[in-house]
A and B are shown apart, each in its own frame.
Chain A
Amino acid sequence: MSSRLQRRKWWSHLLTVLSGLCVAIVLVPLVSVIYTAARIGGPALSLSFLTSNPPEACTPSPGITCAVGGIGPAIQGTVIVVGVAAAIAVPIGLAAAIFAAEYPTRWLGRAISFTADVLTGLPSIIAGVFIYLLLVIYDPAIVFSVISGALALSVIMIPIVTRTTELSLRTVPQELREAALALGIPKWRTTLQIVVATALPGVLTGTLLAVMRAAGEAAPLLFTLFGSRLGFEGFNRPAQALPLLIYNFAESGAENWRELAWGASLILILMILVTSVLSRLVIARMVRRMRGS
């Protein structure tokens, strides 16, 4: 009997170790990606790297030193295109979420939740194809432009904003709504000033998640933002973005371009990781303050 127990305990320990090993194996690529980006891209980083233009293609050989250049246009383009995309996606996502969470007896509310869930699984390249086809038909002049890229990214962002917002609206206690309505506050003010305000940390997380996701997407921008060697030239002109720069320079023969792409990867990873950590901290603080008051 006791030997049987021992065997069961052994078995249990073994499986604990095995599952722990799974975690370790899973984290190897994470470490390897960050290490590789830091090793190759790290030395290129400097303040001017963030602002100057990409250099001419060049591979160092004796007697030739290559200009390092920078990723200024790509950073500028990413900020602008993601900003415009957020300006399109956040109001729509917020509205859809309020509809789904605050008017829930209608069948349409459930349909909205479900559609948002399914749309988050939309392959990101399909978002790009959709906007590309749409603009080829209706306004070929801006097929390759900042607006086009922003539209494609907003297709990806809308469902993310919708579902995280809806989820946090649903965590607001029903009593709050009832109390506000009982005081004679109209429904729209109750929703905006009581419910949405209470759920604000969740709404902000949703927006940040969407922004982070959009900032790293290259596939939807291939046929929309298109890429460019220059800085921002207007909303109806192509522009560069960090993920596009990485894709375009990754397989280039020029060594300094590949270094540039690794530098851009490092910046992109840092941007996303820092945003993710910061948003967690800010949200934790907001939640604490709300509980404190």
Chain B
Amino acid sequence: MRCVGLTAGRSRGSGGGDSPIPAVTDSEAGTTGTAPSLRRSPGRRPIPDLLFFGLVTLGAVVLLVLIFSIVIILASQSELSFRTYGLGYLVGTRWIVPTSASPFQVYGAVPFIVGTLLTSGIALLLGLPLALGSAIFVATQAPNFLRGTLGTAVELLAAIPSVVYGFWGIYVVVPLMRTTVDPALKQYLGWTGAFGGPVTGDGVLTSGIILAIMIVPTISAVSRETLFAVPASQREAALSLGATSWETTRIASLPYARIGIFGAIVLGLGRALGETMAVTMTIGNRDAIPTSLLSQGQTISSLIANELTSNSGPLQYSAVVEAGLILLLISLLVNVAARLLLWRVSGGRRVVLAQ
């Protein structure tokens, strides 16, 4: 075991993917390009080159400015809510929108933060084993002729739009939950207290299940790529020691790929946190902390979808935008973490996905 771990570590260092090819620097390229025309001084670059460089830089700057302007715009528009509630917004448990009957309003983000974390947590809990199992099967166990087909089929799950999952959820999953799953959970696991309340079919658990389906292709495809990237020599070494197929995966492939797989999981989490349409259509859209896994709730993204343009006054508008800011910051954090993990494992070489 220790021996395998060691070799895994060492060959990762030496063969860590395609290390960036020694690059021709700008000034080098410029001088090489201008070499034949000796009249030009060596340091200067022709005008079209500078123009091209300028245009290309502009594109790069747009991309960088984009991410900052998103943060700044959301922050500036949530100012009213921030001035009214301060940090209390983050611990406020009530979200009451004024109506013509009662003008009282108060806004706290806890119901939606809880809803977001609960649905994403359920999605990870249910989706992770399936995603890892399918990644391991496709990368190490499946016969060669099935590999491409199965890999593509799993990835097609990611190609189906979120709103179609939501629609399918309303038609197939919600009735199934209402008639079969929820009553069974209540009957057999009701004592845990996690499955109380009325059975409606939609709610936190239903959304979590649909999210699980949606994040499986992300986690599975990225994990599969990192498993594919394990050098054949690793597996061959284990096999030559007499390890069975599964033992080879366990002692040679998984330790080698673990950082990449962890990155894949965090990436999947990021997707679950920000998913909107499928959740909005199946969670019930109730502005309160879910009392059980069967109860209806609201995530940050479904809150935005439902209430950003509901015209309930400037404070409500600002509070919704602030919820969006929280979602933005959480998902940036999660994605930065995922990318750092995946960059570390691939040495800058990245996995391309539809998502």
Contacts and interface: CB of A to CB of B under 8 A. Distances in A.
Interface of A: 8-9, 11-12, 15-16, 18-23, 25-27, 29-30, 32-33, 36-37, 40, 91-100, 102-106, 108-109, 111-127, 129-130, 132-134, 137, 155, 158-159, 162-164, 167, 170, 174, 177-178, 181-182, 184-188, 190-192, 209, 212-213, 215-219, 222-223, 243, 246-247, 250-251, 261-262, 265, 268-269, 272-273, 276
B304 A129 contact: yes
Given A100-B60, A121-B335, A187-B30, 15 more contacts: A12-B246, A27-B153, A33-B168, A93-B59, A102-B56, A118-B332, A121-B334, A122-B70, A124-B162, A126-B74, A126-B274, A133-B74, A174-B21, A181-B32, A272-B161
Interface string B129-161: 111111011100110000000100110110111
Interface residues of B, number: 106
Nearest to B210: A29
22 contacts: A11-B246, A12-B244, A33-B164, A40-B171, A95-B55, A98-B59, A109-B60, A117-B339, A117-B343, A121-B271, A123-B328, A125-B274, A129-B74, A133-B74, A133-B77, A177-B29, A184-B36, A190-B33, A212-B159, A247-B277, A268-B161, A276-B159
Given A18-B133, A91-B59, A92-B59, A184 B35 contact: yes
B244 A8 contact: yes
A191 B52 contact: yes
A137 B76 CA distance: 11
Given A92-B59, A243-B163, A269-B164, A104 B23 contact: yes
Contact of A243 (B45, B62, B161, B168): B161
Contacts of A163: 350, 352
Name the residue among A11, A37, A111, A187 with the largest chain B CB count within 10 angstroms.
Answer: A187
Interface in B291-311: 301, 304-305, 308-309
Nearest to B52: A188
Contacts of B354: 209, 212-213, 276
B63 A121 contact: no
Contact of B134 (A26, A118, A137, A222): A26
A21 B130 CA distance: 9
B66 interface: yes
Interface in B280-335: 281, 301, 304-305, 308-309, 321, 324, 327-328, 331-332, 334-335
Contacts, number: 309
A187 B156 contact: no
Name the residue among B51, B270, B273 with the largest chain A CB count within 10 angstroms.
Answer: B270
Contact of A22 (B20, B21, B130): B130
Nearest to B309: A223
A121 B270 contact: yes
B230 interface: no
Nearest to B334: A121
Interface of B is mostly: helix
Given A188-B49, A268-B161, A112 B33 contact: no
A125 B302 CA distance: 9
Given A20-B137, A123-B274, A163-B352, A216 B55 contact: no
B6 interface: no
A177 B160 contact: no
Contact of A182 (B32, B62, B134, B157): B32
B345 interface: no
B324 A268 contact: no
Contacts of B355: 120, 213
B48 A186 contact: yes
A216 B161 contact: yes
Nearest to A8: B244
B203 interface: no
Contacts of A109: 60
A18 B33 CA distance: 59
Nearest to B244: A12
Contacts of B77: 133
Contacts of A185: 33
A190 B24 CA distance: 13
Given A12-B245, A22-B130, A120-B355, A27 B154 contact: yes
